[in-house]
Structure 1
């Protein structure tokens, strides 16, 4: 299978999975927020934010390192699985202890504390699931990861609906995450044993002696290689979650609820760049060794396409934010409208910084990733501490947008110097024109928002085509992708 077809297959698989998953997450979140109210949903969101920050400790960048190295050398599969699993066992204990200490220091209420501890167990199971997910990604077998995502979303949705139907308390919603994480681990482990592990044993017990053992020297190598990446991931999670925690401490659970529902809509938009970069990351890692020109071309094309998707998304949601919030949530969440209108302007930057992070990691520049995200983290924390006391969740939203702008500038400057320099002015200019025409339709359309969105998308892409935004080679590429789906 050609590179283009492999990328298309994996991206399509992940996209389909994430779209299906998001449909269930969307309705699950909607009913949960309505049932719990802004205050209750804010409590659950606070627990998720706390555990998300510490979840990084359970992985420490080992997942991305495994993908990169196994993609380059498949013979390392069993060695990475065994040793990363053992390392993560110790890291999970450390994570659990740190979460308990932090929760006690902040002195959260017993209800929030119980939610945090239950979610921590869920995070631990997800940490081990990540071992197998990394192998599937390295082998470009995204269909297994895709099915896992669908299973998780469906089971979580069912769990939330049952909790609402039986009128259960907020703590039971945390148990839903725990149960689903256990099922997900069992599924991924079974697939790995079936597809990758058992065929290699062949009744040879020397296999166990040679492969199923801890290699302490290899542990040291892994941790040293993963350390910059793991620290970078910690900084990244703090950037995205510290605002929620600060809001919970300084402004209360209801404000967290408003802010989180806007953030949830925002996160749903990241399924496209996430699926795409997940699919191309193994290729980028291979191209760094085998073909620098292919690496440059992949980076340039990816930049263009993600720019074309990011800008109109921000424009459209800014204009439709009030309709979207009121369609999904109750009047209690009206304050989330302004938060969404501000936060959505992180989209054009995040679409590209997700790509930048994958490129930087693929070329073994974890140290740079760590340094950039450290700068942005400090900038973000300072902005939040300045803006939250005076502007509440609106201040957090502004801090998030400015932080992503700084991230974009720092990454783009480095990649322009060390990977390749290119001009994207033509694509950006045409994207802005097409977005402007699309926005005129949105402003003057007097039909239901569910009809406005697909029509606006069609208008946008038709305008791009009329402006000759895509070259003949790119059109041929799209045709090849289309052929995959036949």
Structure 2
């Protein structure tokens, strides 16, 4: 069993790894083009738009997708009744959340053209939040190749078509519109491939069943909210408390930090369904899987810290140019968060897969609170450096608390 599981994980990881490498190269190539074309201010505006939408999309899922994936991974027979009700529930949630985002956007002290771009991105984001249910059902069957293809095609569109529009127009608005078109193509591909794992594609409405789903899914929702807060609040708070230039400087450094983050995302996507199944079937194999994942992520995370510390100047100059020289110091500080980011992805995956989602919810809630408080005080005095310090400290606390809790619960 261990041998077949290993082969399946390698195969799934191979698909996601290939897609992530291609996607990251194209995505960061696009960010480089954006920074060099529109400068620090343009990159700051772009970052604020997408971070604001991500941070305000908190009511669009309620943890339903993750819960559905875990339950179907454990028992495939549940898909025929659970998926239709979950889909209906998510559609209603997305519509409500879109209205909330539109209202909040109109209150922002931003130019009207930025507000309309936020609304457009929010509309597509609500579609994405609904459609990711199809992605998760593929993951429940431990199939990743379709998601890899969809993600790669979207990034190819964004880089070549979006990059051409950006180069020719040299304006943010047409560039964002082009990206949104590519996102919609990606979502329709996810629907097409995800529906192949269903006997019949349907949507059902039943408030009683929705409430029962919510009863089990809300811890995953809270985890998502708190995770979003300590991953997105820095850019949003910088945008509200400082100016677009400061956001651009911070985003330049954070862009490079995001490059290696695809590594734990691949590990989580490929191992979580197996962890959920092994927790019931073979805990000895689960223990081996967790330890190997931990060792690999820790080594890679430390290597990332060293690389960013010693080569940040070279990396920023090559990627963004001398105009982003202030990003060098920010990148050195953020580099210390990499090992904790890697391990936190694994800890969260393990706790969720083994039914300890409430434990992980408490951990993410506490670290999110630390992150917000630190950002509020540090940004006022140190701007983008303060945001970087807040990120490192909050990621450290998340790892520390997870290790303490796991030691107590899995002796």
RMSD over equivalenced CA pairs, Å = 1.6
Moved more, 1-10 or 350-359: 1-10
Matched residue of 1:270: which SS?
Answer: helix
Cα distance between partner residues in 1 of 2:35 and 2:78 = 45
2:259 aligned with 1:258? no
- Give the TM-score normalised by the residue count of structure 1: 0.81
**Kept in 2: contact 1:311–1:347 (CA 8 A):** yes
**Kept in 2: contact 1:128–1:185 (CA 8 A):** no
Report the counterpart of residue 469 of structure 1 in structure 2.
Answer: none
**Kept in 2: contact 1:21–1:150 (CA 8 A):** yes
Moved more, 309-318 or 76-85: 76-85
**Kept in 1: contact 2:37–2:170 (CA 8 A):** no
Match of 1:119 among 114, 118, 121: 121
Task: Pick closer, same or farther for the CA change 1:212–1:396 going to 2, 3 Å.
Answer: closer
Moved more, 278-287 or 101-110: 101-110
Cα distance between partner residues in 1 of 2:27 and 2:191 = 24
**Kept in 1: contact 2:294–2:343 (CA 8 A):** yes
**Kept in 2: contact 1:44–1:112 (CA 8 A):** no
1:419 is displaced (CA, Å) by 2.3
**Kept in 1: contact 2:12–2:145 (CA 8 A):** yes
1:96 is displaced (CA, Å) by 1.2
Report the counterpart of residue 238 of structure 1 in structure 2.
Answer: 229
Match of 2:355 among 343, 361, 364: 364
**Kept in 2: contact 1:285–1:363 (CA 8 A):** yes
Report the counterpart of residue 139 of structure 1 in structure 2.
Answer: 141
Match of 1:378 among 350, 369, 379: 369
Q: Deviations over 1:135-181 (max 9, x none)?
A: 11000111111111101111111232122233152122221232112
Matched residue of 1:269: which SS?
Answer: helix
**Kept in 2: contact 1:310–1:347 (CA 8 A):** yes
Match of 2:45 among 17, 20, 43: 43
Cα distance between partner residues in 2 of 1:187 and 1:400 = 35
**Kept in 1: contact 2:37–2:167 (CA 8 A):** no
**Kept in 1: contact 2:88–2:204 (CA 8 A):** no
Match of 1:348 among 326, 335, 339: 339
Report the counterpart of residue 197 of structure 2 in structure 1.
Answer: 196
Q: For residues 185-334 of structure 1, what are the structure 2 equivalents within 5 Å?
A: 185-193=187-195, 195-197=196-198, 200=199, 213-334=204-325
Q: For residues 416-427 of structure 1, what are the structure 2 equivalents within 5 Å?
A: 416-420=407-411
Please list every run of 5 or more consecutive structure 2 residues that lacks an aligned counterpart in the other structure.
Answer: none
Report the counterpart of residue 32 of structure 1 in structure 2.
Answer: 34
Report the structure number with the largest CA radius of gyration. Answer: 1
- Give the TM-score normalised by the residue count of structure 2: 0.96
Please list every run of 5 or more consecutive structure 1 residues that lacks an aligned counterpart in the other structure.
Answer: 202-207, 421-486
1:345 is displaced (CA, Å) by 1.0
Match of 1:403 among 381, 386, 394: 394
**Number of equivalences:** 409
Cα distance between partner residues in 2 of 1:125 and 1:261 = 28
Cα distance between partner residues in 2 of 1:174 and 1:81 = 32
1:375 is displaced (CA, Å) by 0.9
Matched residue of 2:214: which SS?
Answer: helix
